[in-house]
Amino acid sequence: MKSDFGDTWYFSKALERGKWHDIRLAIKLNTPAAKPGGKGRPNGILRGWLNGRQVFEKRDIRFRDVDTLKIRNAWFHFYHGGGQPASTDYRMWIDDVVISPSN
């Protein structure tokens, strides 16, 4: 889905409040451009699992145009959306973060 901030994709299942969840992502980078200045192929893949069940897959992503662009970092962004401040404090607990080149 297009938004003011780029493409936005959602899992097909929402998280339940008050429960721990096992969230997993797998990323396969797309094929870079064959010639300098060209565009990479839109064949990158992003998959997501929630509690062992695959709930997301997108197979036509162009993450990069050059082969020197690699995945070197991972970060988490959590924010309250909308135009108004949050009406209350929100808390989230995160445990057992693993980043691996394979499953």
The answer to whether residue 51 is domain-embedded is yes
Q: Note the pLDDT tens digit of each residue in 5-18.
A: 778 888 888 889 89
The answer to whether residue 27 is domain-embedded is yes
Q: Are 56 and 88 in contact (CB under 8 A)?
A: no
The CA-CA-CA angle for residues 39, 24, 42, to 5°, reads 15
The answer to whether residue 83 is domain-embedded is no
Q: How many domains does the chain have?
A: 1
Q: Note the pLDDT tens digit of each residue in 38-77.
A: 999 999 999 999 999 999 999 999 999 999 999 988 888 8
**Range of the structural domain that residue 50 is part of:** 20-65
